[in-house]
Amino acid sequence: MGVSVSDTKTECMLLKGILSRAPSVRMGESCMKYVKEVKHLGVSVGERMSFRPHLERMREKIIRVAGSMSRILRKEWGLRRRATSITYKGLLFPCISYSASVWKPVLRFQYGRDLLNRCQRVALYACLSVCRTVSTDAMQILMGEAP
């Protein structure tokens, strides 16, 4: 009983340094496919261990979820404030914070904080009945979240 590696599913990605062209890595008789981004356990990792792709994909996912929630979370009618808060904390916040312990170091950089604020802004706007011009910090306070 041995371990076999699939030639078609195996990919390679650059983790350190910069190359002018994609490397040619052979495994058996075939070359591995070179990719700039890998998704493992729901976390997208880019070249040089960048989690920027993960934050960008997370925003797209939040937009999809918030769009489907907008059918029940209307400004004039729909769920009350408490139910909206439960929806945010039970559905949207876990989407945002999934694997946060892995990509948390990205928040040292301004682009990471900006991407995370964009994700949270989409989720907060879906749950609150506010104008689009309301700041993200104000929406965080209205929802009871820390800015």
What confidence tens digit (pLDDT) does each residue in 1-54 have? 678 878 778 888 888 777 777 778 888 788 888 888 888 888 888 888 888 888
With respect to residue 31, please indicate whether it lies within any of the assigned structural domains. no
Instruction: Provide the number of structural domains found in the chain.
Output: 1
Residue 124, domain member (yes or no): yes
Domain that holds residue 63: 52-143
| Angle between helices 52-69 and 110-127 in degrees, nearest 10 | 10
Residue 33 within a domain: no
Residue 65 — pLDDT band, cuts 50, 70, 90? confident
**Taking the chain, what is the end-to-end CA distance rounded to the nearest angstrom?**
53
Is 6 among the domain residues?
Answer: no
Q: Is the pLDDT of residue 91 over 70?
A: yes
On whether residue 44 sits in a domain, the answer given is no
14 in a structural domain: no
Query: Would you state the pLDDT for residue 78?
Result: 65
0.85 exceeded by pTM: no
Based on C-alpha coordinates, what's the Rg of the chain? 20
CA angle 55, 59, 65 (to 5 degrees): 140
